[in-house]
Structure 1
Amino acid sequence: MSIPTVNPTPTSITAAFDLPKPPGVSWRVRSQQVVDYEVSMTRGLLSTSNSTFAHACGADGKRRTRCLVVVDDAVEQLYGERLRAYFSAWRIAHNWRVVPGDENTKQLDTALGLVDDMSSMGILRRAEKIVAIGGGVVLDVVGMTASLYRRGIPYIRVPTTLIGQVDAGIGVKTGINHGQHKNRLGTYCAPETALIDPEFLRTVDRRHINNGLAEIIKMALIKDSQLFDLLEATVASIDPETLADCGPAGGEILSRSIAGMLDELEPNLWEKVLERAVDYGHTFSPSLELRADPPLLHGEAVAVDMAICVALARNRGLLSEQDADRALTLMNAAGLPLTHPVFTAELLERALEDAVKHRDGYQRMPLTAGIGSAVFVNDITADELRAALSFVAHRDHRAADSDVLESAR
């Protein structure tokens, strides 16, 4: 049976496809992206008898698998040999890339270098993975690169620092710095899994332990008063060994911090809601972190920011005099700075202006409303910032004088 053909004239084609008058025709596309990743705490991750790491890499010890392994230079020095032995035991062929673990690494050139590594390796888009092992810097850069390469390939995080294990290594944010702005370029890209082994903390120096304690204190101040009490009782004994041993106190500090952070992140992974309690201590600190010379670690800058926030809450009557003193005393006891010469009133004002842009036109600034809870404010003034700066400076000088007297005794 023949099917007749119609050869419409140009006039009829034009008529058939004329756009309708306003408002025209529109299509709405709706889709949901399931986010499903696991954060696991395990001991002895690098023991060849522990299959956790191998299985995360897609290995079963029988067939050969491949990964691109990106480690920071400290990890290479401390654990390079053990890592290679583990991969060999589980038949994981690996391309190995070492990057510096300092903030200067968080640049586009580093990400592009990792892209070249993936291209030269010929990494498969779904079956093979990138493994990021180290502190927050390497985790951020690898995560961003993984999200961009072929629009996303799977990666695994193995945080080896305290701040990585309780903060940078367990969320979905990635980022690199640009110009004078921290994490100005970034994406949301969940790892397949984050593997946390407290044993890594045994080789972390005391300054970097204190660095991670800042983020733990943050969670205590805005969410968990019991964690704050535990920190007050144990801060003098917290060190690399006690955290690595993961005894009752150390284990609870780590688990409460991680659970609290994930509880805050999970309902708002893509930051559709810009009022985020976990932004406490992160309003002014990005500006300080990139300007301080000598450089400050992330947690040190966060601590200086938190001290200002404590003073703001105290001056507004949101935090009692006693609790403000407890908060500042805990930060000081954790070896964290409360002030910094770069932190001027002018810098605070500029940093707040930049935060307003980041938070879509509002300050949305979290302040403690009593230890263990937070409220958001949008009306912080320049005069309040100056008063807070003065309060913390006076408190810091008083603490320094007390330390001098105690040493003299």
Structure 2
Amino acid sequence: MKTIIVNLGENTYPIYIESALLESAGFLIRRHIPSAKKIFIVTDSNVIRHYAMSVKETIAKEGVEVTLKIIKAGEKSKNLNVLTSLYNDLVEAKITRSDAIVALGGGVVGDLAGFLASTYLRGVKFVQIPTSLLAQVDSSVGGKVAIDLPAGKNLVGSFYHPSLVIVDPTVLGTLDKRFLRDGLAEVIKYALIKDEELFNILNNVEDIEKLESSFAEIIYRCCNIKKEIVEMDERDTGERMILNFGHTIGHAIETVCGYEEYTHGEGVSIGMNAITGISEEMGLTVSGTHKKILQLLKKYELPTEMPKINKEEILSVMQLDKKNLDSNLNVVLLEKIGKAYIYKTDVTFFRGL
């Protein structure tokens, strides 16, 4: 079993990565949260069809009372109405501060259940069991939890770390190829900002099917990069911003398109391509970088073209970006493949979209 320890003082927690690890979920939760008499699982309408019931049974075998709540799959469930409903479910289940919430699903479930845990009773322990590639390599690690508002993505949130993260790469076998590619966009992001060797691996593998046998190692590499960055900048005021490469444009696309037309990874893919085109043209990125990125994104059948949507709407959403600090929009650019940096500007940077 691969283990990564995210060292954050009293917020330190482990990430466990191993095939068939869901079978040990109950044991691991009992070991790390021995006080829990009740476990409240949040999952979605996709995950319930595959392994949610077996995870519930595995946890129940440890002698705890388990409540399972199902939300509708998709970004539109990350809202105040669903959150309020879950608060009421927690009250009905009589969850106390000694108990725990488990996020069993992709990034939407992880963000929503994590924010739920961070705010209910001023903080209840929670566990991340990510079931999508995107959640396994990125959103389950680092303690960012949030819900969306109509005006933008993740505008209501907090920093709240899990007690542990349980990653089982075998569950990715149930994912539709579109959602494997969705997660692969985040993998490519990690390669671009911090790991040129991973970029070369992705380039040299024939296609996504050939890549699947390497998922455990890829997940480990991405989580380890994120761990190192989060340990340096837990609250996202400096170095951690580079994890948002492509996200300023990507989040705006998701918002303007109503979270229906594009997945998160697809938005990030378009964002990474677009921003590198701009930065290279301005002489801020090594010449030829944009072409290499475009080729890799197309190889894995990720979208790269800006959708035909109102540019002013896109720019308006960008003004609410969380990287807006001190009247500056901190955009993440590449110096070259494997090395990112933060560039202070404003939304006029994106007028050429």
Identify whether the pair has TM-score above 0.5, normalized to the shorter chain: yes
Cα deviation code 1:239-273 (max 9, x no counterpart): 4x853xxx4x4333221111112211222112243
Code of the residue aligned with 1:52 in structure 2: it is L
Please state if 1:229 is matched with 2:200: yes
**Residue pair 1:101, 1:134 contacting (<8 A) in 2 also:** no
Paired residues for 1:350-389 under 5 Å: 350-355=316-321, 358-379=324-345, 382=348, 385-387=350-352, 389=353
SS at match of 1:309: helix
Q: TM-score, structure 2 length as denominator?
A: 0.89
**Residue pair 1:170, 1:262 contacting (<8 A) in 2 also:** yes
**Residue pair 1:217, 1:228 contacting (<8 A) in 2 also:** yes
| Worse overlay, 200-209 or 351-360 | 351-360
Aligned partner (choices 31, 41, 58) of residue 55 of structure 1: 31
**Residue pair 1:57, 1:67 contacting (<8 A) in 2 also:** no
Aligned residue for 1:265?
230
Cα deviation code 1:11-33 (max 9, x no counterpart): xxxxxxxxxxxxxxxxxxxxx97
**Residue pair 1:125, 1:150 contacting (<8 A) in 2 also:** yes
Q: How far apart, in 1, do the equivalents of 2:312 and 2:256 lie? A: 13
Q: How far apart, in 1, do the equivalents of 2:50 and 2:32 lie? A: 22
- Tell me: CA distance 1:366–1:169, structure 2 relative to 1, closer, same or farther (3 Å): same
Deviating runs (4+, > 6 A) in structure 1? none
**Residue pair 2:144, 2:160 contacting (<8 A) in 1 also:** yes
Cα deviation code 1:121-158 (max 9, x no counterpart): 211212x1111100111111111111111110101110
**Residue pair 1:279, 1:366 contacting (<8 A) in 2 also:** yes
Cα deviation code 1:53-107 (max 9, x no counterpart): 5534539xxxx94211111111111113322332343333201111112111111
Please state if 1:70 is matched with 2:42: yes
The percent identity for this pair of structures is 27
| Worse overlay, 223-232 or 43-52 | 43-52
Paired residues for 1:6-405 under 5 Å: 34-47=10-23, 51-56=27-32, 58=34, 65-126=37-98, 128-234=99-205, 236-239=206-209, 243=212, 247=213, 249-273=214-238, 276-292=241-257, 294-355=260-321, 358-379=324-345, 382=348, 385-387=350-352, 389=353
Flag the structure with more relative contact order, 1 or 2, with Cα contacts below 8 A and sequence separation at least 6: 2
Q: How far apart, in 2, do the equivalents of 1:125 and 1:171 lie? A: 22
In angstroms, what is the RMSD of aligned CA positions?
2.5
- Tell me: CA distance 1:44–1:58, structure 2 relative to 1, closer, same or farther (3 Å): farther
> Greater CA radius of gyration, 1 or 2?
1
SS at match of 1:269: coil
Code of the residue aligned with 1:238 in structure 2: it is I
Aligned residue for 1:23?
none
Q: How far apart, in 2, do the equivalents of 1:371 and 1:259 lie? A: 18
**Residue pair 2:147, 2:157 contacting (<8 A) in 1 also:** yes
Q: How far apart, in 1, do the equivalents of 2:310 and 2:207 lie? A: 33
Structure 1: stretches of 5+ with no match in the other structure: 1-31, 390-409
State the aligned residue count. 345
Q: How far apart, in 2, do the equivalents of 1:199 and 1:231 lie? A: 20
Q: How far apart, in 2, do the equivalents of 1:281 and 1:70 lie? A: 29
**Residue pair 2:60, 2:66 contacting (<8 A) in 1 also:** no
Q: How far apart, in 1, do the equivalents of 2:234 and 2:21 lie? A: 27
Q: TM-score, structure 1 length as denominator?
A: 0.78
**Residue pair 2:144, 2:158 contacting (<8 A) in 1 also:** yes
Code of the residue aligned with 2:207 in structure 1: it is S
Normalized per residue, the structure richer in strand is: 2
Q: How far apart, in 2, do the equivalents of 1:357 and 1:201 lie? A: 32
Q: How far apart, in 1, do the equivalents of 2:324 and 2:345 lie? A: 16
Cα deviation code 1:309-353 (max 9, x no counterpart): 110221122334432211111111122111132455434433443
Q: How far apart, in 2, do the equivalents of 1:275 and 1:364 lie? A: 12
Q: How far apart, in 1, do the equivalents of 2:238 and 2:279 lie? A: 23
SS at match of 2:69: strand
**Residue pair 1:274, 1:359 contacting (<8 A) in 2 also:** no
SS at match of 2:292: helix
SS at match of 1:175: strand
Cα deviation code 1:180-215 (max 9, x no counterpart): 211111111111111111011111111011101111
Code of the residue aligned with 1:267 in structure 2: it is M
Code of the residue aligned with 2:23 in structure 1: it is S
Q: How far apart, in 1, do the equivalents of 2:268 and 2:87 lie? A: 31
Code of the residue aligned with 2:146 in structure 1: it is G
